[in-house]
Structure 1
Amino acid sequence: MTIKTIAARACPASVRGRFGLKFWLPLAAALLLAPSAHALTLTQAWQAAEGHDRQLAAARAAAGVAEPQRQQARALWRPQLALTASAGLAASDTKMRGAQFSAPGLGSSSGVDFATSIHGGAATRVALQASQPLYNPARRAEQHQLTLQADRAQLALQAARQSAMLRTASSYLNLAMAQEKLRVLQGQIQAVQSAAQEAQDRFDIGAAPVTAVHEAGAELALIQAQVAGAQADITTRTRELADITGLPPERLAVQLPASASPEPRALDLWQQLAEDTSLVLREQQLQTQLAQAELDKYAAGSRASVDLIAQAAHDRLDGRGDFGAARNTSLNAMVGVQLTIPISTGGMRSGREQEAAARLAAAQQQEDAAREQLARSIEAAWLAMHTGAQQTRALQAALDASRLREDATHTGYETGERTLLDVLRARNDVAATRLQLAQARVGTLLARLQLAERAGQLDTAALQDASAPQP
């Protein structure tokens, strides 16, 4: 359906005869270019992006190490069982002198010699050993370290999810803003074309100078150039959002937010909330705790450890030696407690402990810097949110005034007090103010989402505030 058809249907014959079809063309263009009732909402875009975004998928895969790390931490204090078996060639010579021998019915003899000899015999050994740590400070520190690493992996996934939310919202709103700019420009084209035709008609009957025709033509060419740039921007923004969501470009009919009100909580409350729940700060705190656990592990390496052990072994050697065929077998078993006291590692342990202490000091400084940076970023986002809300109110008033000025200018043009250039300028002011208002709403909403993300509070509910279509 063409714009002229829409205008003809929307304009009754009686009214069309009074004002002319050209008067209704801008309104018809606005109706034709209005957002679809089936436009993609921001919440729907995020639902699509959650299962398709590549960066989020990579973070989800990386978070898979968390559970294995927790299993390792638990396994450090469980019994360990090992079975060893070996086979090969071996030799054995045993000599014993001055032994005492006794046997039932044979009496006893002193100064007895014993000797066994096997050369190149077949040797086998089977051993089973079990151990249960009872006291081991280094193992305890390693367990804490593994638990912290698992926590960090899960925290990284949470941060990646909120970052993906913000990235989706930014891409969505950028595309919505680009589409809004194109709608405004296309509406201007229709209005300028109507004005140009009217100027030409007036010039033909001698009621207007030729300069009015040239002014309208120049304005039309300028807007057409802007339309080309807006269309290229939409193509780029559409591809970006399609890559994030995995949706086909033809389904990416997005919409601007209906309103952009600031979050009501005061700045000091947001600062405290960020101190408690910020994922960035929590990540840095985990880094500090990991550095402390690393230091504790090396410091505990010089302490004694106690293990409960049980072992059994069977050794066998078959072959021939100096005294003919021979076989040596032994079976031993033991259950007890083993005490291990580290004495010296040649300076390795102390060197690693000093390195860990230096890394801990650096992590503590980085945590303090992250806390300061968080406070500044929270304040910046909070101020941007409230400044954007103030700009929105001011620009709404300016838009209302610009529309009144446009009406008055058009009336003046009809009576001959204003030129066509004045009318075109007034319309341009309305279009520019409308775009500035839309940009202020988008900026306010993005600042609100950035504030929530920096405080670790960004979720689907925050995105739903932007899901209502623009009235």
Structure 2
Amino acid sequence: MQAWQGALQQSPDLAVARAAREAGAARAEQASALWRPTVALQAGVSYAGSESNIRGASFTAPGLGSASGVAFDTSVSGGAATQATLAIRQPLFSRERSARAEALEQAAQAAEYEWAQAEQEAMLRTAEVYFAAALAAERLRLVERQQQAVDQAAQQARDRFRLGDRPVTDVHEAESRAAGLQAERVAAQTQLELARQALSDMTGQPVTDEPVHLPGELAREALSTLPDWLARAEQRNPMLMRAQTHWRTAQAQSRATGSALSPTVDAVAQIGRERWAGDGASGSASQASRQHAVGLQITVPLYTGGMRSAQAAEARALVDQARAELDRARLQVAQQTRAAWLDLAVGHHQTSALKAAREASLARLDATRVGLQAGDRTTLDLLNAENDAASAELALSEARVRLISRRLTLAALAGELDDTALQQANAQLQPSATRR
């Protein structure tokens, strides 16, 4: 759990997924904003001129009578022009806007699934690196124990050779095995240093000689049936859920472009003012106008140069692609779930067999030591028994690690790998001195 807490803060993959998750949350807000009204203010100032000529107008004014054929001329040849417009638009109907909103919502959901998948993969990777370091330490411990026993056997062989009780070949065999174990010890030490450095890189914690723990005796747990695990993976696997969101997004885009005519309807309101002031043909002059309008605006694309039909064809192909990717992901998840479940189903039998093999190898080792003292066994028999006992113990530790790893993998495939599952695995770990 300490390694996971460090990886949670240190992992660059999780940092990427965390940022993507935050971006996804913003996409959900964007989807809601697409159907909210927009308000825009446009204003400007410029140096401009304006001229208008009206002929044949009719004029009527109180006290002035009426006249026909009146002409009006106004001009501002150069001066300041200002304009300001406030516009409000409320979308009411748009296939493309609906598709875009759904795509943004699906993208937000996909970001959540991506985060869940990245978090579970980081958990599995942390466990993998941790157990690699633990097994490397166990391998070195067993090599050192075996080397100590072989060194002792070599010394005994030399002593008994001097007394004429053993042939010189026993001395040579013991010394040869001791030299080989020395080389194995150097290799095991190097592997341990590399594994500890990898663990440090992942967790951000310094490299130390603090022992890491391996699983002890694992209690056999009731395992649900394979169809049950397949159903759980179908419903909650993050990779599968993300593929489903991509398929739904492609379907929405196809619906948006599938119709030959796709009108948009907006409610619009606008108020504006324009004014020119400056010198004109008749001296100082100014012009001002105000406009306001409230209504509906309908836009129907009649011809887009083939763009819309091409987009519709692309959208249909993308639906087929997304569907194929979903089927591929479903098949992949089912295969992985089946493999993990079968590994677990037989894993306890394998560990039981390896535990019995370890007990048998230890009993054989004890018997060989007694037989060597009695003269019924050779030094080579003892060396082989020492090697078999160390190999059996390491194989049992590796099998127990594989069993726990498969439990975590199966939980991840079903979308159920979390801190609780990791804590349950952590509770199975024990120091080497207390393992059975």
TM-score range, shorter chain: over 0.9
Shift of the alpha carbon at 1:251? 5.9
Q: Does 1:235 align with 2:196?
A: no
The SS at the match of 1:345 is: coil
Which TM-score applies when normalising by structure 2? 0.94
Q: CA RMSD in A?
A: 1.6
Contact 1:262 1:389 in 2 (8 A): no
Q: 1:159 to 1:396 in 2, by over 3 A?
A: same
Contact 1:257 1:469 in 2 (8 A): yes
Q: Does 1:136 align with 2:97?
A: no
Q: Does 1:469 align with 2:427?
A: no
Which one of the candidate residues 50, 55, 59 is aligned to 2:13?
Answer: 55
Which residue is equivalent to 1:364?
Answer: 323
For 1:103-145, what per-residue CA distance to the aligned partner results, in whole angstroms no more than 9, with x for missing partners? 1111111221111122233211111111111222321221111
Q: List alignment gaps of at least 5 residues for structure 1.
A: 1-42
Contact 1:129 1:312 in 2 (8 A): yes
Which residue is equivalent to 1:273?
Answer: 232
Which residue is equivalent to 1:436?
Answer: 395
The SS at the match of 2:82 is: strand
Which one of the candidate residues 41, 45, 51 is aligned to 1:83?
Answer: 41
Query: Map of 1:35-434 to 2, 5 A cutoff?
Result: 43-250=1-208, 252-260=210-218, 261=220, 264-299=223-258, 302-434=261-393
Shift of the alpha carbon at 1:322? 2.6
Shift of the alpha carbon at 1:294? 2.1
Shift of the alpha carbon at 1:297? 3.1
**How far, CA to CA, are the matches of 1:407 and 1:366 in structure 2?**
59
The SS at the match of 2:425 is: coil
Contact 2:354 2:392 in 1 (8 A): yes
Q: List alignment gaps of at least 5 residues for structure 2.
A: none
Contact 2:154 2:174 in 1 (8 A): yes
For 1:372-424, what per-residue CA distance to the aligned partner results, in whole angstroms no more than 9, with x for missing partners? 11111111111222333222111111111111111222221111111111111
Which TM-score applies when normalising by structure 1? 0.88
Q: Which runs of 4+ in 1 moved over 4 A?
A: 260-263
- Work out the number of aligned pairs and report it: 429
**How far, CA to CA, are the matches of 1:101 and 1:458 in structure 2?**
87
164-173 or 101-110, which moves further after superposition?
101-110
Which residue is equivalent to 1:27?
Answer: none
**How far, CA to CA, are the matches of 2:128 and 2:292 in structure 1?**
69
Shift of the alpha carbon at 1:293? 2.1
Contact 1:212 1:421 in 2 (8 A): yes
Residue identity (%): 43
Q: 1:195 to 1:313 in 2, by over 3 A?
A: same
Contact 2:260 2:309 in 1 (8 A): no
**How far, CA to CA, are the matches of 1:155 and 1:294 in structure 2?**
21
Contact 2:45 2:81 in 1 (8 A): yes
Contact 1:101 1:112 in 2 (8 A): yes
Contact 1:277 1:455 in 2 (8 A): yes
Which residue is equivalent to 1:23?
Answer: none
Shift of the alpha carbon at 1:89? 2.5
Letter in 2 for 1:410: R
